Structure 1
């Protein structure tokens, strides 16, 4: 692996990479099948990913037809990394077993361990038969949609393929590792002005936000729309905020702290609601269900910020905690577009506000290849920017996932895999210099917050 890293840091040519020996094993962040019951009886909120995630030496897979083996310079943590680590809502091992029954090639995924992770930025090392668009030495990022496309259902929108899976969550050999196995149609060009860790943070959340908000398969946002964005400074919400602003919409950003509110304003949002400071409690503390009075108070606050307008689109991803309020506050004929459900996936809402006001609920799950490519293209052009606030070494992935689980992060949390240091991989410094304040916004905000106590302590 050291020879491979040396070659990558020297930006090796296709020929020199092809001559390098692929190691028989590599380090990967894994969960283990024999530990899938370790949190039995422990509430999901109290489960600790640091106990279940391991950095193990695992055998290197050989790319089959239509596949590529990628040296992973950096990856990132998504909420499905949390779900994998806490075995919630279900263990991922049944996914791997079900996939393994599909074919001889898929059987490789059904293992007693699961190498997780649904993002990467790295360099192609080997390609399998039938791969023509990519070659060893290509610097790439990967989106996480794995499809077979042997059914007609997926050919208008690959997310409708009955064999659609999320790589690194419902398949093995994911991106939180030194090497990763992907289908070649997951690959896209790495944005040349970004570092490895910045580029690695984009694939899942940027593509998800694009489909959910911009695509005709999602909400189909247009200029002038009022868009309510939950968790607007978080991993997916910060991209939704950027897309709303870039598309001429009016975002109303909902966050949970003054620091997160400041980030939204720095992104360009004018309307920001700190839900904790304003004390919104959509569920009664006595277990008596949801409180419509809080929905009404929330809706009135939105109209106060928008000059009397209700949201045309509600960008939903917290799920159970907020969904009733989301359905209520959407305007007549408006749209609630939803994914993820990080606070719980059994939603409750008052259907009278949906049917009598002809509102719509749209389910959105990641993105198809075209949508992911368009989202990546906007990053390449410097229109949409990464939101990395911190990077961890591979050995500390458990802590990185723990912080996402506890929602102590802002933006995205990256993981250095083969990259020995942060800040490597930039190939277009001129484009980077033009957008540097936007690229590093989340990093600077966190650095300022950490420096503030020290500054205050000075005589």
Structure 2
């Protein structure tokens, strides 16, 4: 029998070793991670299709030293976010520039400037080391990781961490992200993992569910109330899947816009009251043409009124250039467009008359502060919001997983198993899981595109 005091860390974790054993088990000097290499920055040249599979490498990177306010998490599972697509295509900017900017702050931040960039802004796993200044967390704790890396000593962060001047997107603007066997995070990024969720389910929660919570529910977002009609672009995607559930859980009326019949079925499975296929009615591609934007907005508004009886109070927009002008037009007088991103382009054009003369609001939102993340996670524990996991890939196939998102061929969240050897692990509250039910917990598993990880239901 192997002496637990001398077993490798991976073996100790997967065998359920005690916190004391984990704390005394040596760490590897290198670990497996999905990463970019600085020499690939100009690999695409003028190519139109920047295939992320060409730049995403899976291999060994050196283990960094921990700062006093950081923890080292053994990542059991992660998931793909669109910022990994941006990183792997080096658009709109190379994230190696972000790492250099972070390093210029000096001190511990100099570690981030490396010739490699470990990606990933989601993770669920187990703490294996804590820095000397960490108070509320211990080795062995099961956690999820928020993508918002903030300076919690900055005055503005005491009001709202997302207002921190030095707020960074972990795994995008920082190194040592979550698509790896280990990740380095600040203690102020940690969220208790709901005990009824598997590692891969939990890993889909913080970045997208937390973002949707802040956009819709938080008083810093659109301030959704009962009965509000909410138009959700991309209602079957990662962000959209959680937005639909937040709307329904809060007593709202969810109107989803998607791009295929299969995605329409997925949006209905999530609870959408009305689902519209943008391709069938020719909306969402107008870009900068003002006349087309207005015409498409009128068509969309008519369909929404026919379906639910009134114009939307809120539009949930993360698509950007292709939809923003329509969003601003279609939201009702006095309504709000809340935005957290621009996957189709950052340069938005809209007819300002419909903003100022109809007293509409544009609300910018970015990830979520720690309190919002904890409140969001509580909704999962209450069984009111479910994981949006569909497809699941091993870390070795992270390129294929990210390519799926790059081509918008995914539904919900695409998960990645990191240190966990198989799906279904990490549940510490099987009673709660049984009460909620496997079918309820996995509303999008039926929509997983092939190929997926062997053994997934």
Q: State the TM bucket, normalised to the shorter chain.
A: over 0.9
1:21 to 26, 40, 64: 26
Range 262-271 or range 105-114, more displaced: 262-271
Q: Which residue of 2 aligns with 1:398?
A: 399
Deviations 1:33-76 (A, max 9, x none): 12111122123xx1100001001211101211110011111100
1:66 to 62, 69, 84: 69
Q: Which residue of 1 aligns with 2:212?
A: 209
Deviations 1:291-315 (A, max 9, x none): 42121111111111111x1110000
Range 310-319 or range 128-137, more displaced: 128-137
Contact 2:177 2:184 in 1 (8 A): yes
Instruction: Give unmatched runs, 5+ long, in structure 2.
Output: 1-5, 453-457
Shift of 1:25: 0.3
Q: Please give the residue correspondences for 1:138-149 in structure 2 after superposition, counting only pairs within 5 Å.
A: 138-149=141-152
Matched, 1:84 2:87: yes
Contact 2:411 2:447 in 1 (8 A): no
Q: Distance in 2 between matches of 1:67 and 1:424?
A: 25
Q: Which residue of 1 aligns with 2:336?
A: 335
Matched, 1:3 2:34: no
Q: Distance in 1 between matches of 2:346 and 2:120?
A: 21
Q: Which residue of 2 aligns with 1:313?
A: 314
Shift of 1:6: 2.1
SS at match of 1:236: helix
Shift of 1:325: 0.5
Q: Which residue of 2 aligns with 1:294?
A: 296
Aligned residues: 446
Q: Please give the residue correspondences for 1:313-392 in structure 2 after superposition, counting only pairs within 5 Å.
A: 313-392=314-393
Deviations 1:370-400 (A, max 9, x none): 1111111111222111011111111110110
Q: RMSD value over aligned CA atoms? A: 1.8
Deviations 1:332-385 (A, max 9, x none): 000000011111110111101111100000100111111111111111222111
Range 17-26 or range 287-296, more displaced: 287-296
Contact 1:282 1:325 in 2 (8 A): no
Matched, 1:163 2:151: no
Q: Which residue of 2 aligns with 1:274?
A: 277
Q: Which residue of 2 aligns with 1:189?
A: 192
Q: Which residue of 1 aligns with 2:40?
A: 35
Contact 2:31 2:182 in 1 (8 A): yes
Q: Distance in 1 between matches of 2:320 and 2:267?
A: 21
Q: Distance in 2 between matches of 1:325 and 1:412?
A: 26
Q: Which residue of 1 aligns with 2:231?
A: 228
Q: Distance in 1 between matches of 2:293 and 2:143?
A: 48
* TM-aligned CA distance change 1:282 to 1:34, over 3 Å: closer
TM value normalised by structure 2: 0.94
Contact 1:282 1:294 in 2 (8 A): no
Q: Distance in 2 between matches of 1:291 and 1:332?
A: 18
1:444 to 416, 438, 446: 446
Q: Which residue of 2 aligns with 1:52?
A: 55
Shift of 1:438: 2.0
SS at match of 1:224: coil
TM value normalised by structure 1: 0.94
1:108 to 86, 89, 111: 111
* TM-aligned CA distance change 1:17 to 1:281, over 3 Å: closer
Q: What stretches of structure 1 move > 6 A for 4+ residues in a row?
A: 447-450
